[in-house]
């Protein structure tokens, strides 16, 4: 099995770096610091970063076809205008669950924004859900009893959706109906041995249909074949990678966000790059991230 190394491309002290999304039009990478309440826009050509302070948790983002971003905040969906920095709050699907929050989210190729929830304090409780936010602002619940919703993605043929539940220590596959947005036939793609200390976090799918999954707490990103075999590993010099996505002009760079959350002062001294943005060249290309159609 190939083992590759990721390098720091932009130093940050993000508390929880998540949701990397490449903009082909801008040749920039967007990502969020959930707890820090910030959206970052990294320019690889100049190694500079623009930062947008929201002043509240922002858990994930996607680009909009109409410009700007669609977001999942702590409890709400929202639109964000990058020029005016105006935040427009939309629906809250879990008003009756005040201790839950959104976590990861991603757009499907039909322009619908999928987002999952988790217990804000009790991460290992089956209190979360998986929701679909449509361009007409309709919200549909697709899965209940989720234990820490996390990374998701779609196969190149658009027939399979992948969804991570971090503290079931598993990535699940569903049959995906692209026209209706329905999912069915849930099954396990891969499981993480919890005795290793790792848990699965963010996820992306490459152009060959392989699934890249972040293994948080142990500093690695792994590549699974479509039948769930471990095929390749990217190692990081920090223990808490969170999200991954392909970017670059040829979509051949794997970008990885990381976190400082839960690390002790001694661990932060040992791993000073925690919270930074990393990248690796894994020898394969990714798929373009879809944009929200509303």
User: Which residue has 């471990």 as its token pair?
Assistant: 230
CA 9 vs. chain centroid, Å, equals: 18
Q: How distant, in Å, are the alpha carbons of 28, 43, 44, 215, 253 from that of 248? A: 8, 10, 8, 23, 6
Is 134 an active-site residue? no
Residue carrying the six token digits 């209706």: 180
Strands 170-177 and 160-165 come out as antiparallel
Q: Identify each DSSP E strand in 54-181 by its residue range.
A: 58-63, 69-73, 77-81, 86-89, 100-107, 113-119, 128-133, 139-146, 149-154, 160-165, 170-177
Catalytic hit among 108, 201, 206, 252: 201
Q: Which residue has the tokens 């949701």?
A: 19
Which are the catalytic amino acids? 201
């Amino acid at each position: 099995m190939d083992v590759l190394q990721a390098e720091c491309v932009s130093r940050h002290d993000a508390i929880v770096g998540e949701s990397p999304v490449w903009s082909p039009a801008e040749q920039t990478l967007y990502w969020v610091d959930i707890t820090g309440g910030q959206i970052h826009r990294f320019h690889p050509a100049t190694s500079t970063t623009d930062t947008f302070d929201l002043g509240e948790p922002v858990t994930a983002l996607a680009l909009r076809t109409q410009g700007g971003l669609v977001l999942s905040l702590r409890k709400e969906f929202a639109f964000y205008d990058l020029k005016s920095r105006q935040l427009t709050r939309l629906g809250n699907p879990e008003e009756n669950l005040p201790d839950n929050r959104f976590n990861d989210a991603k757009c499907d190729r039909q322009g619908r924004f999928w987002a999952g929830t988790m217990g804000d304090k009790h991460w290992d409780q089956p209190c979360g859900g998986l929701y679909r936010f449509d361009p007409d602002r309709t919200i549909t619940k697709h899965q209940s009893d989720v234990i820490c919703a996390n990374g998701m993605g779609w196969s190149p043929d658009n027939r399979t959706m992948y969804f991570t539940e971090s503290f079931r220590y598993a990535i699940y596959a569903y049959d995906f109906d692209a026209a209706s947005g329905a999912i069915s036939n849930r099954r396990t793609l891969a499981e993480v041995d919890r005795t290793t200390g790792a848990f699965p976090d963010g996820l992306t799918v490459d152009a060959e249909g392989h699934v890249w999954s972040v293994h948080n707490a142990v500093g690695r990103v792994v590549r699974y074949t479509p039948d769930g075999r471990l095929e390749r590993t990217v190692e990081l010099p920090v223990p808490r990678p969170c999200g991954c996505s392909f970017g670059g002009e040829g979509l051949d760079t794997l970008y990885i966000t990381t976190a400082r959350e839960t690390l002790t002062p001694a661990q932060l001294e040992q791993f000073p790059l925690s919270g930074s943005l990393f990248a690796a060249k894994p020898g394969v290309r990714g798929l373009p991230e879809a944009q929200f159609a509303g």
